[in-house]
Every structure is written in structure tokens, then in C-alpha cells.
Amino acid sequence: MKKVFIVGGAGKVGRRLAQQLVTNGHEPRSLYRHAEQADELKALGATPVAGSLLDLDVPGLAGLMADSDVVVFSAGAGGKGGPEMTNAIDGQGLEKAVAASQLAGISRFLLVSAFPEASRGADISETFENYMAVKKRADVHLAETDLDWVILRPGTLLDSPGTGKVRTGLAIPYGDVPRDDVATTLMQIIERPAISRVIIELTQGDTPIDESIQQFVRN
């Protein structure tokens, strides 16, 4: 059993991951900001942990993470609050979570990032350009640490039911992927500690998730 601390635990991917973890015998600890989210997280089988990346300092966040085996960072401003909120959550929030993980002695760290080609060729806003730049800087920040990290870059996220089949690779064509399948992929990575220090791109596909993700296991 793994004790998994989910930063962004009340988000769409975070909630789905908690369900997957509980189903597979693990213990999700889900960080949430708003009081009304606690009961929903409990109903999923997660342990709700109250706290906000905007308010917590590194020691405070490390204290909440204590005794966890894995940290999963799936938090994001979701385009709300403009560039300032993206910078605070997706950028500085990630840096804070990395520092807290190091302080708490938790080496395993998974980051849900963004596909580099997201919305390319479309008429996108300065806010979205900032979002992509922040996501890339977050990837770089984590990859330069000595943590046991994995960066997962899903394509456009869908709320449609998962299929249990995906395409993964170091570099693959851009596409969509259900959030259910992102959560399952994260759970599969958590259960495979030999998948380490690699950036994985993810879209929907034709290969069962466990088979697709097995290619990244280091012997």
C-alpha cells in the first residue's frame, strides 16, 4: 500500500486518481482548499487534507505531506484568475511542493503537466501562452532536482468515460485523452517504482494502459 499525497486533490484528475488508488488498495491524501470539498473527498475514500498553495509555506506544506510515500502534483489554476493565478499555482505552487517534498524526505514525485503542442495552430490568448510557458518552467524545475520524478504530459483532457487504452511515448502526436485514463496511468506509474526520471506524453490510443506504461520500466 502506498500513501499518496495529491496536491490538487479536489480537481478533476485528483478526484479520479483518489478513486483509482482506493480501488487498488492505496491511501490517497487529498489536499483541498474549500470546506465543502471535504465530504466529497471522504466519499471517494480519500483522507481530506485542508490547505491552500496560496497560503501555505514550505514547512507548513511539508508537515501536511509527512509520512507519505509519493507526492502527485495535479493542481492548476484552470485559467481562472488570469496569469497571476497561473503563476501562483502552476508555477510557484509546483516549486513550493517540490521544496516541501524534499523537506519531508519524500523522494517520489509525479507531475501532471501539459502537452507541448496544446492548441498550436489555434488563435490562442496571451493568458494561454503564459500558461504553457509556466508549465514548461515547472517541468524544468522538477527535472533539475534529485527527486525520483516522473512528468506526465496528457493531451487535451476530456470528461468522457475512460477506455482503458492509451498511447504513450517520449514524443507522440498530439491528441485527446479522458481524465479517467490519465488517473489510471498515474496509478500505474505509482505502482511501478522502476519508472523514474522520465517525461511521458499521453493520448488516447489502442494499447491497454498497463501494457503501454510498462515500456518505461527500467530493468
Q: What is the predicted pLDDT for the residue at 122?
A: 55
Q: What would the pLDDT profile of 21-54 be if each residue is shown by its tens digit?
A: 999 999 999 999 999 999 999 999 999 999 999 9
pLDDT, average across residues 77-105: 91
Name, in order, each residue with C-beta under 8 angstroms of 5's C-beta and a sequence gap of 6 or more: 29, 31, 49, 64, 65, 68, 70, 71, 72, 106
Q: What would the pLDDT profile of 157-200 be if each residue is shown by its tens digit?
A: 999 999 999 999 999 999 999 999 999 999 999 999 999 999 99
Task: Please identify which of the residues 115, 131, 149, 216 carries the catalytic annotation.
Answer: 131
Q: Which three cell numbers stand for residue 118?
A: 496544446
Q: Where are the domains of the chain?
A: 3-216
Q: What is the predicted pLDDT for the residue at 77?
A: 79
Examine the residue annotation and report whether 131 is marked as an active-site residue of this protein.
yes
What's the whole-model pTM score? 0.94
Task: Quickly name the fold that domain 3-216 has.
Answer: Rossmann fold (3.40.50)
